[in-house]
Amino acid sequence: MRQITSSAFTAPAQRTNLRQAGCLNKAVPSRVQHAHRLTWHPSFRKTTGPAFKRETTRLFTMLRYIASLMLIGGFASSQHANAEPVEIDDLKDNIAKLAAKLPPGSKKQVSYKKDIEPLFKKSCVNCHGPDKRPKGKFRIDTRALALKGGSEGVAIIPGKSDKSPLTYYITYQVVDYEMPPADKQEKYPKLTKEQVSLVRAWIDQGAKYDN
């Protein structure tokens, strides 16, 4: 009689009879016999109880806190973006809000002779140069006088364009201190965002007049 090889597809009753008859050369592995059964992993067990509820409460509390911070931050940013021009006496207290509206400084290495002086001559020097009494006692045609400032104090802080009042004058964020004045823009054009970026970079790079 031909020996029969064990198979996972052999019926249980047939396997018993064949094993008793000595026809099976190997016992069918138990893992094959029970392959159709599902094993319940401990990690699948239902998680309940006071400890689980406490952890869940902590998680949702933390998520609500994070969401609140995001909302507050977004509201503050929108408030900064919508900041209105301020009076000169209020500039210092509002400078952080106004800074949010500034165009970023240029990434290029700025040359005063090539990039800045032409802008100043075209839009600023007429009121803040040597030809007549400078407006606000502020001259911008030489470094020494520019850094000295005018009747409202220092206007340029080398290395800190976001703290320099001049940055807010040329972006029209200080009432009555717009440079150039709004009523003279036809003759002395207001600086564009790109030009303001150059001035910011120039200040951040030291407000040098010799390059």
How does residue 62 score in pLDDT terms, banded at 50, 70 and 90? confident
How does residue 64 score in pLDDT terms, banded at 50, 70 and 90? confident
d(CA 69, CA 55): 21
Asked if the structure places residue 160 within a domain, the reply is: yes
Res 120: pLDDT: 96
What type of residue sits at position 41? H
pLDDT in tens, 145-196: 999 999 999 999 999 999 999 999 999 999 999 999 989 988 999 999 999 9
Res 22: pLDDT: 53
**CA 92 from chain center: how many Å?**
24
What are the structure tokens assigned to 98, written together?
Answer: 């106004």
Burial of residue 198 (number of CB atoms within 10 Å: 0-12, 13-18, 19+): buried
* 41: pLDDT strictly greater than 60: no
Asked if the structure places residue 154 within a domain, the reply is: yes
What type of residue sits at position 38? L
Res 164: pLDDT: 97
Res 100: pLDDT: 92
Q: Indicate whether this model's pTM tops 0.85.
A: no
DSSP class of 153: B
Segments forming the whole domain that contains residue 27: 12-43
Asked if the structure places residue 97 within a domain, the reply is: no
d(CA 83, CA 77): 10
d(CA 22, CA 4): 9
| In a shared domain, residues 37 and 119 | no
Asked if the structure places residue 24 within a domain, the reply is: yes
Asked if the structure places residue 164 within a domain, the reply is: yes
Q: HEC states along 177-206?
A: CCCCCHHHCCCCCCCCHHHHHHHHHHHHCC
Res 78: pLDDT: 40
Res 56: pLDDT: 75
Burial 143-169 (b: 16+ CB within 10 A, else e): bebbeebbebeebbbbeebbbbbbbbb
Total structural domains within the chain: 2
pLDDT in tens, 81-139: 456 899 999 999 999 999 999 999 999 999 999 999 999 999 999 999 998 789 999 99
Asked if the structure places residue 184 within a domain, the reply is: yes
Asked if the structure places residue 103 within a domain, the reply is: no
Asked if the structure places residue 22 within a domain, the reply is: yes
What type of residue sits at position 113? K
Q: Name the more confident of 69 and 209.
A: 209
